Amino acid sequence: MAEERTQVVIVGAGPAGMLLSHLLAADGVDSVVVETRSEEYVAARIRAGILEQSSVDLLTEVGLGDRLARDADKHRGIYLQWPEERHHLDFVDLVGRAVYVYGQTEVQKDLIEARRAAGQVVHYEVSETALHDIESDRPSVTFTDAAGIPQRIRADVIVGCDGSFGPSRVAIPARESWDRTYPYSWFGILADVAPSTDELIYAWHPDGFALHSMRSESVSRFYLQVPNGTDPATWSDDQIWDALAARLGHGQNGWSLQPGRISDRSVLPMRSHVSTPMRHGRLFLAGDAAHIVPPTGAKGLNLAVADVALLAPALAALLKGDPRLADDYSETALRRVWRCTHFSWWMTTMLHTAEDPFDTQLQLSQLRWVTSSEHAAAGLAENYAGLPIGF
Ligand code: DHB
């Protein structure tokens, strides 16, 4: 078996893993990344599109902000609406923080580019990844590389950034986890059409939730609440545009929805999941490997950024002999994880049509409150625009 040695093996080359390798390198720590998918697959998968102020600040501070500064679209807030009513929440006025429209695909491309320029070793298309000796200070990761050759990487630390289905989370022996599944999914489309709005519209509607988001001046992103198990191929383009027009309020107060060519469609299930602890021995978890949030409120990617921002200095100190930050990592990270878990659950349950008429009245009451009380609006804004990284 071929052997390699590094300080940190990172399992998973998504945004959490690649940003961690970047932050570690800035602290003088070497890493090797392993990933089951191909580089092209990882770079192209369509995910979230909103960055919090603190994620943008961090990416900028570590030299990843050039294209972001040029191409990201700064938004002061969002619209919240229900039939006949549309209200703007201005996060900058409310809490002094903004959000940025910049797709995860773009963050991933910036990371791949930066790591390539720095000579980062990333093994793509590996299989049979296994973690070993995580309770010792000489852990290792074995895998079969893209050419079919068995490999072992010995390290001081392993970090699992491999999502909820990867081998890292289940390598933690005494785990406790919390789950919530939701009785609906999101049907997401990308369309080659200029957005019909300047900022995102989150719409409560008796037919189901709809969201008007965007990726650029010429690409719009939309989501519709659909029953679990919906096959996206069974909806015609006209059905999709009709549902979006009805739920987003086409024709109300002079607003109209401009349809366009649909270039991508997919259905995403929604769930909340937290797995603790986020560290066992020399294995640490970051991002989706430890927690999943439903997409409403766009917290998933931002939470992954916050995890690795905390973890990189903790590992750098650990490798220099100071374990204090690493010992606190799980507890510190989980404070933010639970805050975002609550916020995502709250946004989800406030906006998705419920079966129960009592729940419907509570949702409408909640929507009226967050759009009419400055204090309630500020709470939403603080969570949406993102708490400071150290929260
Ligand atoms: C997007 C996704 C979200 O979950 C959200 O709350 C806002 C925007 C998006 O993909 O654009």
* The pLDDT of residue 389: 81
pLDDT tens digits, residue range 342-370?
999 999 999 999 889 999 999 999 999 99
Catalytic site includes residue 273:
no
| 37 vs 25: CA distance, rounded Å | 23
335 φ, ψ (degrees, to nearest 5): -60, -45
**Looking at residues 170-176, what average pLDDT do you find?**
96
Ligand 1 centroid to residue 289 C-alpha, Å: 20
Catalytic site includes residue 109:
no
pLDDT tens digits, residue range 34-45?
999 999 999 988
**Which atom of ligand 1 lies at the shortest distance from residue 50's CA?**
8
**Looking at residues 210-214, what average pLDDT do you find?**
97
The CB-side HSE value for 93 (13 A sphere, CA atoms) comes to: 8
Whether 390 has a pLDDT exceeding 80, the answer reads no
Catalytic site includes residue 100:
no
Buried b (16+ CB within 10 A) or exposed e, 206-220: eebbbbbbbbbeebb
**Looking at residues 163-183, what average pLDDT do you find?**
96
pTM to 2 decimal places: 0.96
Sheet holding 73-75, edge to edge: 50-52, 99-101, 73-75
Residue 46 binned pLDDT confidence (cut-offs 50, 70, 90): confident
- Which candidate, 310, 166, 57, 27, places its Cα nearest to that of 7? 27
Write 218-222 long-range contacts (CB < 8 A, 24+): 218/192, 218/193, 218/194, 219/190, 219/191, 219/192, 219/193, 219/263, 220/190, 220/191, 220/193, 220/194, 220/195, 220/196, 220/260, 221/49, 221/188, 221/189, 221/190, 221/191, 222/188, 222/189, 222/191
pLDDT tens digits, residue range 265-295?
999 999 999 999 999 999 999 999 999 999 9
Which residue's CA is the nearest one to ligand 1's atom 5? 298
The CB-side HSE value for 276 (13 A sphere, CA atoms) comes to: 13
pLDDT tens digits, residue range 67-104?
999 999 999 999 999 999 999 999 999 999 999 999 99
Ligand 1 centroid to residue 297 C-alpha, Å: 7
* The pLDDT of residue 47: 82
| 27 vs 182: CA distance, rounded Å | 41
Buried b (16+ CB within 10 A) or exposed e, 339-365: bbbebbbbbbbbbbbeeeeeeeeebee
* The pLDDT of residue 391: 78
**Looking at residues 310-334, what average pLDDT do you find?**
98
Q: What is the mean pLDDT of the chain?
A: 97
Ligand 1 pocket list (CB less than 6 A)? 48-50, 200, 211, 213, 221, 295-298
Residue 125 binned pLDDT confidence (cut-offs 50, 70, 90): very high
Which of 52, 100, 204, 221 most suits a substitution to test ligand 1, by most atoms within 8 Å of the C-beta?
221
pLDDT tens digits, residue range 126-155?
999 999 999 999 999 999 999 999 999 999
| Active-site residue, from 184, 202, 223, 329 | 202
* The pLDDT of residue 63: 97
Which residue's CA is the nearest one to ligand 1's atom 7? 298
Q: How far apart are the first and last CA of the chain?
A: 44
